[in-house]
A and B are shown apart, each in its own frame.
Chain A
Amino acid sequence: MTSTPIVRLENVRKQYGKVVSLKNVTLEIGANEIVGLIGDNGAGKSTLIKVLTGVEQPSSGTIYVRGQKIDAASYSVKEAHKLKIETVYQDSSLGEKQPLWRNFFVGRPLTNRFGFIDVKAEKRIANEIMRSTIGFRGVGIDVDTPVSRLSGGERQGVAIGRAMHFDSDLIVLDEPTVALALKEVNKVLDFIRSIKAGGRSCIYIEHNIHHVHEVCDRLVVLDRGEIALDAPTASLTYTELTDFLMSLHKPAVAAAN
């Protein structure tokens, strides 16, 4: 069980019209591994995640999940969910006007044979997740509260709680700490540690290099659609990492001049 990676991308390329977002990316995420994904805006992080989670189809290349080749044309978010891959987006995975209970189950509601939703069961489970997993024992927040009334941290909590409930093997966190207060950031970091403790894997995308260096097993740096670095965190100190990232900028600046 040790050797098969959960996900393997092989020579993946993604192009939007003439713009090449990903050139020939090969990347593996192993079992029970926390991988930090670093890169500037426009380096291709979001595109990589979209391809990995079935939101966008790659222009070319292959995706393997647990060693099995995935048919790129039919790979979708639903398919990714079935393969136990979950994504927590920084801001855009919750319906603002919809109540919390719908947001927990949207896309895969608990329904009977005719497609009617078991609202009672969904509300009960949503309530349990909120109380136990996320630790909302909040004033004024319950399962009927619309997302628009939640703070940034609370929203992140809902999205993370949803990923945990669906018992995924790989959780992708897309800049989960953007717009969060310091106390709430620590909660998110604790959650990432609990992913590791629970034997699951995680891809953690983050701007704050300090956080990445603190919780990740391995670091992957993307630069202009290519992997510039792929190394165990232990092999680099925090200073070495920042120096490396700075060095990526130099040629670009020189070229611009």
Chain B
Amino acid sequence: MSAGAHVTPTRSNPVASFFKIEGTATALVFVVLIVVFMLTAPRAFLGYRVYMSFMASVPPPLIIALGLTLVATAGEMDLSFPSVIAFASYVFAFLFQQYDMTWLALIAALATGTVMGFVNGLVVTKLGIPSMIATLAMMFLWGGLVTVVSNGVTVAIPDIDGTLIQAIMVGRIGGIVPAQMLWAIALSILVWHLLNRHRFGENILFIGDSLKVAKVVGIQIDREKIKLFTLMGFLSALAGVFLTVETTTYFNQQGQGYLLTVIAAVFIGGTSIFGGSGKIVGTVFASLIVAVIEAGLVASGVQGFWTRVFIGLVFIISVVMNTAIEDPDKVPLIKSVRSRLRQ
């Protein structure tokens, strides 16, 4: 990924230009956390098993975070993805259990999520409700609907063990590496190119930067936003199927736990909270960070409740750091300190 290859010959110092390369700050935080946990929980973090377990559990939230990074870049938000995950997971589990469908069940699940995303896009653009509120409503609507359709039951699909679809999606390569991690990395590279090298990504960047500018340069704002929410629905559904095949279960609350941690990962990764700038590499590392914090604190003997405190802390620090990297004067505290130093 040669985003930072064209280094600007400006007055900036080498440290600053190092942090200008996409995702370096987040990657650094990740490495520091790993080192810290190697010291505080050596039994877990010096072995390879904990990393295998990350690679199995991180891909679903990571895949959603990729989509949400694009949504946030456009200055929008999607809170409905947990319900989309649940719905797509149910469709997949139900079709597999009742009709032995595998690939067809996957296609049906993805189609379901895509349609739901498309409807989300229509509600946001055609009814003109801000996406934060519109998708909150859609989370209730889709979530309620899947409970009604499924009667709230859990669907276990242990028979998926040993099928081709299971081997390809979540098999262990060489008996060790979870295949879903490779899929997630491939998808990350694809989404990076979509954002940074495709006209769709450019349109999203300008929409998030300023709607006024996007309009006068001829970007069809509504159409691009509908595409964006549709893609988000597709990716949420894909994440749901990965989750279902890995855990061999659908349950009613599937995906609910991801809501806050995925949003946190997007902004910890350096995507602008104001829109107009999105960092896929940052999102990848931040998704790992969130998972590592949870596992690391528990393995270090800290009580489980502390993980949220810690994630909150990392969240605040990261967002401030990322804003400061973008423009130090956007952080009032840094601004006043700098102006006092100048005097």
Binding site for B on A (CB under 8 A): 54-55, 76-78, 81, 87, 89, 92-98, 102, 106-109, 111, 115-117, 119, 123, 140, 142-145, 148
Q: Cβ of B209 < 8 Å from any Cβ of A? A: yes
Residues from chain B with a CB closer than 8 A to the CB of A77 are 215-218
Stretch at the interface among B25-33, B116-124, B198-206: B198-206
> Given A78-B218, A106-B219, A142-B8, A98 and B209 touching (CB < 8 A)?
yes
Residues from chain A with a CB closer than 8 A to the CB of B197 are 116-117, 119
A/B interface sample: 29 pairs, CB < 8 A: A55-B216, A77-B215, A77-B216, A81-B218, A87-B216, A89-B216, A92-B210, A92-B212, A92-B216, A93-B216, A95-B205, A95-B214, A96-B209, A97-B277, A97-B326, A102-B202, A106-B202, A106-B206, A107-B217, A107-B218, A109-B202, A111-B199, A115-B198, A115-B199, A115-B200, A117-B198, A140-B9, A142-B6, A142-B8
Which 3 A-B pairs rank lowest in CB-CB distance, beginning with the nearest?
A: A77-B218, A107-B217, A95-B209
Residues from chain B with a CB closer than 8 A to the CB of A93 are 213, 216-217
> Given A107-B218, A111-B199, A95 and B210 touching (CB < 8 A)?
yes
Contact of B193 among A106, A116, A123 (CB under 8 A): A116
Residues from chain B with a CB closer than 8 A to the CB of A102 are 202, 205-206
Known interface pairs A98-B276, A116-B197; 4 further A-B residue pairs with C-beta atoms within 8 A, sorted by A's residue number: A55-B216, A98-B205, A106-B203, A115-B199
**SS of A interface (majority):** loop
> Chain B: how many interface residues by the 8 Å CB criterion?
29
Per the bound structure, the CA–CA distance linking A86 and B203 in Å amounts to 19
Residues from chain A with a CB closer than 8 A to the CB of B339 are none
Most central of B8, B213, B219 by chain A CB within 10 Å: B213
Q: Are B205 and A108 in contact (CB under 8 A)?
A: no
Q: Are B11 and A94 in contact (CB under 8 A)?
A: no
Residues from chain B with a CB closer than 8 A to the CB of A148 are 327
Q: Are A92 and B213 in contact (CB under 8 A)?
A: yes
Contact of B213 among A95, A111, A119 (CB under 8 A): A95
> Given A106-B202, A123-B6, A145-B8, A96 and B210 touching (CB < 8 A)?
yes
Q: Are A55 and B6 in contact (CB under 8 A)?
A: no
> Given A95-B210, A97-B276, A140-B10, A116 and B218 touching (CB < 8 A)?
no
Q: Cβ of B272 < 8 Å from any Cβ of A? A: yes
Per the bound structure, the CA–CA distance linking A116 and B53 in Å amounts to 36
Whose C-beta in chain B lies nearest to the C-beta of A54? B218
Per the bound structure, the CA–CA distance linking A102 and B6 in Å amounts to 14
> Given A115-B198, A140-B10, A97 and B209 touching (CB < 8 A)?
yes
CB distance from A48 to the nearest CB of B (A): 15
Residues from chain B with a CB closer than 8 A to the CB of A92 are 210, 212-213, 216
Per the bound structure, the CA–CA distance linking A143 and B6 in Å amounts to 9
> Given A96-B276, A119-B197, A108 and B213 touching (CB < 8 A)?
no
CB distance from B316 to the nearest CB of A (A): 22
CB distance from B272 to the nearest CB of A (A): 7
Whose C-beta in chain A lies nearest to the C-beta of B2? A119
Residues from chain A with a CB closer than 8 A to the CB of B276 are 95-98
Per the bound structure, the CA–CA distance linking A81 and B218 in Å amounts to 9
Whose C-beta in chain B lies nearest to the C-beta of A87? B216
Q: Are A144 and B202 in contact (CB under 8 A)?
A: no
Q: Are A108 and B218 in contact (CB under 8 A)?
A: yes
Residues from chain A with a CB closer than 8 A to the CB of B212 are 92
CB distance from A89 to the nearest CB of B (A): 6
Residues from chain A with a CB closer than 8 A to the CB of B202 are 102, 106, 109, 117
Contact of B206 among A55, A98, A111, A123 (CB under 8 A): A98
Residues from chain B with a CB closer than 8 A to the CB of A54 are 218
Residues from chain A with a CB closer than 8 A to the CB of B215 are 55, 77
Per the bound structure, the CA–CA distance linking A109 and B198 in Å amounts to 9
CB distance from B139 to the nearest CB of A (A): 29
Per the bound structure, the CA–CA distance linking A92 and B199 in Å amounts to 20
Most central of A107, A108, A119 by chain B CB within 10 Å: A107
Residues from chain B with a CB closer than 8 A to the CB of A87 are 216
CB distance from B74 to the nearest CB of A (A): 12
Q: Are A76 and B216 in contact (CB under 8 A)?
A: no
Per the bound structure, the CA–CA distance linking A55 and B217 in Å amounts to 9
